[in-house]
Amino acid sequence: MRSYPRASITVPLLAALLSGCSPAVEQATNTVQAGYPVTIENCGREVTVQRPPERIVSLNQGSTEMLLSLGAADRMVGSAGWTDPIKTSLEADNARVKRLANQAPSYEALLDAEPDLVTASFPDTLGAGGVTTPEDLQKLGVPAYVSAVECTKEAGSSDGARSSTLEIDAVFTEIRDLAALINRRAEGDTIIADMKDRLAALAATKPADGTTALYWFANSESPYLAGCCGGPGIISRTLGLKNAFDDAREDWPQISWETVAQRDPDVLILGDLTRKSQTAESAAAKIAFLESNPVTREMTAVKNKRYIALAGAELNPSIRIVDAMETVVAGLREHGLTP
């Protein structure tokens, strides 16, 4: 779930800025590089990169962490769209990349970075109503990639319904896609193999039959809670949990607290965000609300303090999804919900 300010599109301005390429960039433009051009299919459109990108901008944290994990720090000139601190293992590399904005950058800030590849996790950041669109960038010779996990999302939807249930293979596809675009295929294969090994280790750990979980991203007045078919759905199905709202096909539907209390889930998985976009962003703020609200304080999980905190980046389908599963398993064990 995410909510970012929008920026207007001024194609002539981008054209003007891109026309002022340095001699080095112009020389690279005329040089054929081994393994290029690369073309991949991206949610019904083709993305073609003619040469190794040297000025990559990532507009969302999930995309940034994938690129850094692939070893692209020295080729990144900007990042944006943050909900949480960077993964600890990526702190040093991330420090080398300029942060254009904590949420969505202005269109002008994107232009000033003079990117030769733009990536994003969400179409509401890189798409209609966002910073710009892949199509407008492509017209100006700048390839743009939006996460493969968004390919099952209905057109025009951000946190809404999916045409089919998201599976972890979509996360692996995004890793492979980015690895191909920046010529880091071996690194991508290594990351995926490690994630699969960790998933195999989790297969032996299951909660008690029928254990129900609620995933709360943000907002105390009208909370965004996970439906069946996004990242938390992958976590639930993998670990054998029942999502309290698996009858909702939206990624993050807004549901009343009265309905939540009626379903009375066994454990509450809370987004622990550091951004300041909505109410109840941190896990501490969520717990304070749950324990003071006259409706929620009577819930079984609240009375027993069965809380598990996950970073916002772990609740969105990303390279962190196995990290999230390992944290949930540890929390279930702590709360006595595993056999």
As given in the structure block, the two tokens for residue 167 are 């599976």
pLDDT of amino acid 24: 40
Q: What is the pLDDT of residue 169?
A: 97
* 139 located within any domain: yes
The whole-number pLDDT of residue 32 equals 61
Instruction: Determine the pLDDT at residue 206.
Output: 87
54 and 185 together in one domain: yes
Q: 48 lies in which domain range?
A: 11-198
Whether residue 149 sits in one domain with residue 274: no
Residue at 330 is within a domain:
yes
* Statement to judge: residues 177 and 239 lie in one domain: no
What integer pLDDT is reported at residue 10 of this predicted model? 40
Asked if residue 241 lies in contact with residue 248, where contact means CB atoms within 8 angstroms, the answer is no
Would 6 be classed as within a structural domain?
no
Tokens 């733009």 belong to: 118
Q: pLDDT, tens digit, for every residue of 128-139?
A: 999 999 999 998
Domain final residue, candidates 150, 173, 198: 198
**Contacts for 6 with CB less than 8 Å, ≥ 6 apart:** 104, 129, 130, 131
Among the candidates 144, 170, 198, a domain finishes at 198
Considering the domain architecture, whether residues 188 and 49 belong to the same structural domain is answered as yes
CATH number of the domain to which 292 belongs: 3.40.50.1980
Domain count, the chain: 2
pTM to 2 decimals?
A: 0.89
pLDDT of residue 186: 98
- In the predicted model, residues of the chain with pLDDT beneath 70 are 1-32, 155-159
- Does residue 81 fall inside a structural domain? yes
| Domain match, 184 and 61 both | yes
Query: Are 170 and 277 in the same domain?
Result: no
Q: Which amino acid is at 171?
A: V
Question: By CB neighbour count within 10 A (0-12 exposed, 13-18 middle, 19+ buried), where does 276 fall?
Answer: exposed
Does residue 145 share a domain with residue 70? yes
Residue 57 lies in a domain: yes
Same domain flag for 187 and 211 = no
The residue out of 134, 166, 198 marking a domain boundary is 198
For residue 227, the model assigns a pLDDT of 96
